[in-house]
C-alpha cells in the first residue's frame, strides 16, 4: 500500500468523550471522530421569571413612556384578534405570573401577550370585557359618533339622537372599565347615564339656540361644548362612591395605607381633563377644515361625501389624541401626605412617620 494518510474508519455512532488531560483527535478525521451531539448544541437562554408584567413596559414617570404605553393599550387592531389568540395570551400571562415560563418565550412575545391580555380582560375580575367598551374600541367608536355629531348638528332631532348615542356609549365604557374595588351599581349607572345625557342635550340645545344668528363655524363647536359638559357630569357621578368613601392610597411599594376622598377628587379631576382633551382636537380641527371644504365646488357637487370626510378627519385626530391625552397624567398618580384628610394623615403617620408621598390609581 502506498504510504500516506490512512482513510478514516467508518463511523459507528458518536465516539466516547475524551478522557481528562488528553487532546481531542486532530486531522481530517477529527470531525467524524468527535461530532457534537445535537443535544449539546447551544440553546437560547430561558426567559427569567422576574419581569414585572403587572406594571407597564415603559417608564411611567415620563410623558414619552406613558404615551408608548397608551398607544399599545388603545391600538384598534386588538379588536380584530380572534378568541383563540386572546385565550393564548391569557394563558401565557397567567402562567408567567404563576412562575411558569413557556419554552422558547421571548421578552417581546411576553410583553405582546400582556398587552393583548390587558386589552380584552378586566384587570380586577379577569372577565372578558364587552367589545365596544374596551379601550381599543375608543378610536373607531368615537370617530363614528363624533363624526356624526359634527355632521348632523343643524336640527334638534339630530342633536338629541347623537347626544343620546354618545352618552349610551360612554355608559358602556364606564361600566366595562369599572373598578373591582368600587363596583358600579345599576342605580348609580342609571343615574349617571340619565344625568349626563340630560346635561349634554340641554347644553347642546341651549347653545344651538344662542348661536343661531352667529357664523356657521361657531355652531359647529356646539357638540364639543355638550360633550365637555357631559364629561363634567358623567365621570363624577359614575365615581360618586369614590368621592364618598375614598380610593385606596399606597406607599411606593404598593402597600395599602388607607382610603382618601382627597385622592379621589384629584383622580377624577385628572380623568375629566384627559377626557375633554381627547375630544378637543377631534371636535375642534375638523370643523375648521370642513367649513372651508363646504365652500368649494367639490363638496357642493358631491354632498354625500360630507359625513365620510368628517368621520375620517375625526378618526385621524383621535388616533393620536386618545393615547396622548391618556398620558397627560401618570396612571399611578401621587400627592403629598400633608394634602390628605387629617384623619388619613394620622392613620398613615402611625404606620410610617417618615412617609411624605402616597400613590393611587387615577383610573381612565
Q: Among residues 91, 86, 112, which one has the least CA distance to residue 102? A: 91
Give the tens place of pLDDT for each residue, 122-143: 876 778 888 988 888 989 998 8
3 state DSSP class of 360: strand
What is the separation of C-alpha 245 from the centre of its chain, rounded to a whole number of angstroms? Answer: 26
Confidence of residue 168 (pLDDT cuts 50, 70, 90): confident
Q: Could you state, in order of their start, the residue ranges of all structural domains in the chain?
A: 63-121, 133-361
User: Is residue 63 over pLDDT 50?
Assistant: yes
Residue with cell 418565550: 105
Looking at per-residue pLDDT, the higher value among 230 and 274 belongs to 274
Are 153 and 222 contacting, i.e. CB atoms less than 8 angstroms apart? yes
Q: Among residues 313, 331, 332, 330, which one has the least CA distance to residue 321? A: 313
Q: Is the dihedral of CA 264, 270, 272, 274 positive or negative?
A: negative
Beta-carbon contacts of 162 under 8 Å, excluding residues fewer than 6 positions away, are 145, 148, 149, 152, 223
Provide the grid cell at 68: 408608548
Residue 111 has what pLDDT?
A: 93
The percent of residues in the chain predicted with pLDDT above 70, rounded, is: 84
Beta-carbon contacts of 82 under 8 Å, excluding residues fewer than 6 positions away, are none
Per DSSP, what are the bridge partners of residue 121? 128
The percent of residues in the chain predicted with pLDDT above 90, rounded, is: 15
Provide the grid cell at 237: 357621578
Amino acid at each position: 500500500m502506498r504510504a500516506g494518510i490512512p482513510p478514516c474508519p467508518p463511523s459507528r455512532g458518536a465516539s466516547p468523550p475524551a478522557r481528562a488531560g488528553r487532546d481531542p483527535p486532530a486531522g481530517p478525521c477529527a470531525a467524524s471522530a468527535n461530532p457534537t451531539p445535537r443535544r449539546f448544541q447551544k440553546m437560547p437562554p430561558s426567559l427569567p421569571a422576574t419581569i414585572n408584567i403587572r406594571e407597564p413596559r415603559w417608564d411611567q414617570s415620563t410623558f414619552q413612556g406613558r404615551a408608548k404605553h397608551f398607544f399599545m393599550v388603545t391600538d384598534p387592531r386588538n379588536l380584530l384578534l380572534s378568541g383563540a389568540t386572546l385565550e393564548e395570551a391569557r394563558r401565557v400571562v397567567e402562567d408567567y405570573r404563576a412562575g411558569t415560563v413557556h419554552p422558547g418565550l421571548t421578552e417581546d412575545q411576553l410583553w405582546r401577550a400582556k398587552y393583548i391580555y390587558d386589552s380584552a380582560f378586566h384587570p380586577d375580575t379577569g372577565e372578558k370585557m364587552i367589545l365596544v367598551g374596551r379601550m381599543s374600541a375608543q378610536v373607531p367608536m368615537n370617530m363614528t359618533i363624533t363624526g356624526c355629531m359634527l355632521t348632523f348638528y343643524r336640527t334638534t332631532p339630530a342633536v338629541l339622537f347623537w347626544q343620546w348615542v354618545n352618552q349610551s356609549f360612554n355608559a358602556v365604557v364606564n361600566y366595562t372599565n369599572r373598578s373591582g374595588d368600587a363596583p358600579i351599581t345599576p342605580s348609580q349607572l342609571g343615574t349617571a347615564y340619565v344625568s349626563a345625557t340630560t346635561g349634554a342635550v340641554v347644553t347642546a340645545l341651549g347653545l344651538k339656540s344662542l348661536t343661531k344668528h352667529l357664523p356657521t363655524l361657531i355652531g359647529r363647536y356646539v357638540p364639543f361644548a355638550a360633550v365637555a359638559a357631559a364629561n363634567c357630569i358623567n365621570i363624577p357621578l359614575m365615581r360618586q362612591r369614590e368621592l364618598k368613601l375614598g380610593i385606596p392610597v399606597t406607599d411606593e411599594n404598593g402597600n395599602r395605607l388607607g382610603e382618601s376622598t382627597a385622592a379621589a377628587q384629584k383622580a377624577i379631576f385628572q380623568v375629566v381633563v384627559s377626557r375633554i382633551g381627547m375630544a378637543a382636537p377631534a371636535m375642534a380641527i375638523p370643523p375648521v377644515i370642513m367649513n372651508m371644504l363646504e365652500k368649494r365646488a367639490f363638496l357642493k357637487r358631491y354632498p354625500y361625501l360630507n359625513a365620510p370626510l368628517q368621520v375620517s378627519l375625526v378618526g385621524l385626530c383621535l388616533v393620536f389624541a386618545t393615547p396622548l391625552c391618556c398620558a397627560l397624567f401618570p396612571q399611578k398618580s401621587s400627592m403629598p401626605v400633608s394634602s390628605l384628610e387629617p384623619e388619613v394623615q394620622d392613620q398613615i403617620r402611625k404606620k410610617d412617620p417618615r412617609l411624605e408621598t402616597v400613590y393611587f390609581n387615577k383610573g381612565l
